[in-house]
Homo-oligomer: A and B are copies of this chain.
Amino acid sequence: MKRIGVLGSGKGSNFGALAEAAREGKLPVKIALALTDVPGAGILDLAAKYRIPADYVPPGAFRTKLSPEAEREYARRLKEAGVELVALAGFMRMLKPPFLEAFPDAVMNIHPSLLPAFPGLESWKQALDYGVRFAGCTVHFVTPEMDAGPIIAQAVVPVLPHDTPYTLHARIQAQEHKLYVECVKLWAEGRLRVEGRTVAVSA
């Protein structure tokens, strides 16, 4: 069984979706390690519940990225755990080329918008403010540019007339949980192939 690692900074609802799917036998991977840059992040409690090894690893002095030393330490811990795919689940720091080159075409992220629309923070709020009629989520391979890597899959979510940021975000998250499991499963089955900036999915 392929081994994956998860990085998260928050409560870890996408991590929970992956862990639950793996536990139920619907996702043929072993989550070998979860790491967080936030002491006491919910993702640690969730890892304990699913008996997944997990740890807080200090991120260093920067706010939006890991320090080079911290990034090496994250990569070292993941490699040591035999991780072949790193799934970002609400990890709030940019990853740099040395980390990405350690896991080529094997760092995945899920973003709560139909990229390339609304990269960055609180995409669901950006979508409401813009007035789009459809929002959604995107799973993509991570490249050094934020929220811009090759797209693996997307799901569309309607924006309803009386949506608030809360209701829209909840509707997107429900799709995120399904989409992320599907994408990691496609990867585990060896069905994803990055071709330039697009991703081919084999049958």
Report A's interface with B, CB cutoff 8 A. Answer: 114-118, 129-134, 136, 150-151, 153-154, 156, 161, 197-201
Contact = CB atoms under 8 A, between A and B. Distances in A.
Contacts of A134: 114, 136, 154, 156
Q: How many copies does the complex hold?
A: 2
A133 B154 contact: yes
A95 to B, nearest CB: 20
Nearest to A203: B161
Nearest to A150: B131
A200 B136 CA distance: 21
Contacts of A201: 161
Contacts of A117: 114-117
6 contacts: A114-B114, A116-B117, A130-B197, A130-B198, A131-B197, A132-B151
Nearest to A194: B131
Contacts of A118: 116
A153 B130 contact: no
A132 B115 contact: yes
Q: Which 9 A-B pairs have the closest CB atoms?
A: A131-B198, A133-B154, A117-B117, A131-B151, A116-B117, A156-B156, A134-B154, A134-B156, A131-B197
A150 B200 CA distance: 35
Nearest to A139: B133
